[in-house]
Structure 1
């Protein structure tokens, strides 16, 4: 992922991610074009490529968020037994099913 710093870049990245997630509700990612994402997000292709190299890179934002939440939940757990870890995983999957189903 490119352009990590400024607020405008963060806003553009979020718009791109939101657009991709909405489009993925109706279409598999391999059929989605960068143009579709840009049109839905109301941004230019230049803005897309200033922030990302590929549409898969866009998904890394959401994957990173889920992984960070998983690690955060593990870090506050007192008893790291398999059943507790499994519960964390199942809860995260349930909370992020909109993303993971695609």
Structure 2
């Protein structure tokens, strides 16, 4: 089998095309913490959930960047990592609105 650019980008080591996968633990924690932030919109609990959501999404992106099954997943990890860091730097919350 010839190893094309498409294969390098989208196929895993078993030759299967992988674009999406079942969520792993950091992604599940991020989803749960983000949903709970809607229940607790202010206060100490919201601050803790925000830190938990940030940390878990950062961890997921880092793992994808360095352990992703193909180049697409690694690029996805890099994109999310840049987005997470930019959101903290610029002040954009998880829903995309500016915290001005």
- Shorter-chain TM-score: which interval? 0.3 to 0.5
Return the TM-score normalized by structure 2. Answer: 0.33
Return the TM-score normalized by structure 1. Answer: 0.33
> Greater helix percent: which structure?
1
